[in-house]
Amino acid sequence: MELRQLRYFVTVAEELNFGRAAERLRIAGPSLSQQIKALERDLKVQLFDRDRRSVALTAAGSALLPRAHALIAQADELRRHARGLSSSVPVRIGCVQWCPTDWAERAAGVAQLRVDTWVMPSHTQAKRVAEGSLDLAICRVDQADLDMLGLDARLVGADRLYALSIGPDSSPVAAQELTVLIDSDEDSWSSWNRFAEQFAREAGARLVRVDDGGVTGSTFFDHVRRLRRPVLNNPKGQNDATPADMVRRVVTDPVPMWTWSLVWRRDEPNPMVHAVIGEFTTGVDSAVLNQPGAWLPRGDPHLPNSEEVTDP
Query: Is residue 294's pLDDT more than 80?
Result: yes
On the CB side of 251, CA atoms within 13 Å amount to 27
Query: Which residue has better confidence, 1 or 300?
Result: 300
| 8 A C-beta contact, residue 16 and residue 71 | no
Distances (CA, A) of 302 to 57, 166, 278: 44, 33, 17
Mean pLDDT across the chain:
88
| Alpha carbons 10 and 4: distance in angstroms, whole number | 10
- At 312, the pLDDT band (50, 70, 90 cuts) reads very low
In eight-state DSSP terms, residue 5 is H
The answer to whether the beta carbons of residues 203 and 254 sit under 8 Å apart is yes
Share of the chain above pLDDT 70, in %: 90
Give the Cα-Cα-Cα angle 175, 241, 96 (nearest 5 degrees): 75
Q: Tens digits of per-residue pLDDT, 174-213?
A: 999 999 999 999 888 999 999 999 999 999 999 999 999 8
Q: Which residue has the higher pLDDT, 79 or 90?
A: 90
Domains of the chain: 3-85 (1.10.10.10), 91-158+258-295 (3.40.190.10), 160-256 (3.40.190)
Beta bridge partners of residue 94, listed in sequence order: 137
Indicate the residue type of 12: V
Which pLDDT band holds residue 308 (cuts at 50, 70, 90)? very low
pLDDT over 60 at 306, yes or no:
no
> Using CA atoms, how far apart are residues 188 and 194, in angstroms rounded to an integer?
12
Q: How many CA atoms lie within 13 A of 22 on its CB side?
A: 13
Summarize pLDDT for 213-256 with one digit per residue, the tens: 899 999 999 999 999 999 999 998 888 889 999 999 999 999 99
Distance, CA of 188 to CA of 117 (rounded, Å): 17
